[in-house]
Amino acid sequence: MAWKEAAEPVLTRMPSVRRPEGHVPFKRKVTWTAGVLVLYFFLTNVTLWGLQTGGGGDFFGRFRSILAGQSGSVLHLGIGPIVTASIVLQLLGGANLLGLDTNDPRDQVLYQGLQKVLVIVMIVLTGLPMVFSGFLPAGSVSLGGTTLQGTAVNWIIFAQIFVGGVLILYMDEIVSKWGVGSGIGLFIIAGVSQSLVGGIISPGIFSSTKGLIFVWIDIAMGRTQIGSVLGGDGVMNILMEPVSLLPIATTILIFAIVVYAESVRVEIPLSHARVKGARGRFPVKLIYASVLPMILVRALQANVQFLGKILNSQLATMPAWLGTYADGQPTGGLFWYLQPIQAPRQWMWWMGATQEPWQIMLRVFIDLFIMIVGGAIFAIFWVETTDMGPEATARQIQNSGMQIPGFRQNVGVIEKVMERYIPHVSVIGGALVGFLAVMANMLGTIGGVSGTGLLLAVSITYKIYEEIAEEQLMEMHPMMRQMFG
């Protein structure tokens, strides 16, 4: 296509992390992964220079657990620009508008360069409105004896979050090529784990809320009253805060369901075409597309809410049907209906909600519809664009010299067999993950972690565990490494 020739000089010159020339030992992979993780935690504690003290708040709110990063830090944007760029590439690739063959080395370089360019564009499109619309209020800074204020400080803040966005892009690339798993998954696990641990053991010294252990100590010491267990308020205090029995049960249940779902699979028997007795199985897991497509759905919702906040801050009077806001949060209108349910009390109308019960139930239905249908759609996109679809899988099986017993050794034949399972399992798995994410938000989790964030953390951790086990197997048996390339 014409655009490839025009863009190739730019895309091929985008800085990239060099791929390892041979096998990377497992200990070195762990070292790179740990090093990037330490750097990530360090950068999340580097406060933006010039930011007004106590200003800004967390713009992404409950989306933070899936967008990673830290509010008010150099990594304020987290993985948001990377995810948004991935959504754009998914849509363009799914519509076959790019004309890139990811099996062609030249097109692979162009695709990776295009992804980096899109990420940088998304950093600018997200960071500029956020800084110059007042969501990251500028203070005053002293530079060379001169006090800077206003627009000059805004540009300094933007430059910092721009550098942070680029850093997290290359940190992800380092982990993907030299470490274990992916950087995006690692950063999500880090953020969710931090919230979970804080929700259990935080003494409340460095944060506004105490962890469950210290809350229970306060209850036992009589410093916190929960009321009579026979009364409505007492029952709610036991189920919700401060005792939080329901969030504890929800967190444990989500862990158990995801681990079980990862083990549920349809195994397609395989046999080697030339080596008699050499058999294997191709597993089609229930969550075949993994939980990662949920990032795309939630990131899309986060961008919609971002648009609503920008419009509210810039328009003198926003139409009521479009959205009404209080303290920066939607309280009515279209943007309120499109905002995900993020806590139990947001749908419990008997707990003093200002909206009518039918409005709350409509919002719950919209959230369920977006997550279930969106999860299924993005699961299909994910499968097709990551070479996990029936056609790509059939080619992989054919190239490995395997075949399905009872069928001719032909790519088309294998593809038809795969089409019986992969598309259906992908849709079911994506819809199931979307449903679980909404239910976890509605019932609450430990540490206020979003349902999507918890699902992602458990699933990614499970996959990293499988990858570590595979790496250790390869280290113990080098012949297997040669067999699997």
Range ranked top by mean pLDDT from 276-290, 303-317, 366-380, 398-412? 366-380
In the DSSP assignment, the letter for residue 344 is: G
What is the total residue count of the chain?
Answer: 485
pLDDT band at 58 (very low <50, low <70, confident <90, very high): low
Give CA angle at 439 (434, 445), nearest 5°: 115
Q: Return the higher-pLDDT residue of 146 and 179.
A: 179
Contacts of 358 (CB under 8 A, 6+ apart): none
Range ranked top by mean pLDDT from 82-91, 170-179, 197-206? 170-179
Range ranked top by mean pLDDT from 192-206, 216-230, 248-262? 248-262
pLDDT band at 205 (very low <50, low <70, confident <90, very high): low
Residue 406 has a pLDDT of 74
242 cis-preceded (ω within 30 degrees of 0): yes
Q: What is the CATH number of domain 2-12+24-196?
A: 1.10.3370.10
Residue 54 has a pLDDT of 65
Matching CATH topology for 2-12+24-196 and 244-483?
A: yes
Residue 479 has a pLDDT of 53
The residue assigned the tokens 């096998």 is 23
pLDDT at 485 over 50: no
pLDDT band at 35 (very low <50, low <70, confident <90, very high): very high
What is the pLDDT of the chain when averaged over all its residues?
Answer: 81
The rounded percent of the chain whose pLDDT value lies above 70 is 89
Lowest mean pLDDT among 123-127, 368-372, 384-388: 384-388
Residue 19 has a pLDDT of 86
Q: What HEC string does 117-167 produce?
A: HHHHHHHHHHHHHHHHCCCCCECCEEECCEEECCHHHHHHHHHHHHHHHHH
Mean pLDDT of 242-263: 84
Q: What is the pTM of this model?
A: 0.79
Q: pLDDT of 321-378, one tens digit each?
A: 888 888 778 888 899 999 888 888 888 877 666 788 899 999 999 999 999 999 898 8
Mean pLDDT of 198-213: 77
Residue 94 has a pLDDT of 63
Long-range contacts of 85-88 (CB under 8 A, 24+ apart): 85/115, 85/118, 85/119, 85/121, 85/122, 86/115, 86/296, 87/296, 87/299, 87/300, 88/118
Residue 484 has a pLDDT of 44
Residue 80 has a pLDDT of 85
Lowest mean pLDDT among 144-158, 203-217, 441-455: 203-217
Could you please state the CATH topology (level 3) that the domain comprising 244-483 is classified under: Preprotein translocase SecY subunit (1.10.3370)
Residue 229 has a pLDDT of 63
The domain ranges of the chain are: 2-12+24-196, 244-483
pLDDT at 276 over 70: no
Residue 158 has a pLDDT of 93
pLDDT band at 124 (very low <50, low <70, confident <90, very high): very high
Amino acid at 238: I
Q: pLDDT of 443-481, one tens digit each?
A: 888 877 877 788 888 888 888 888 887 777 766 655 545
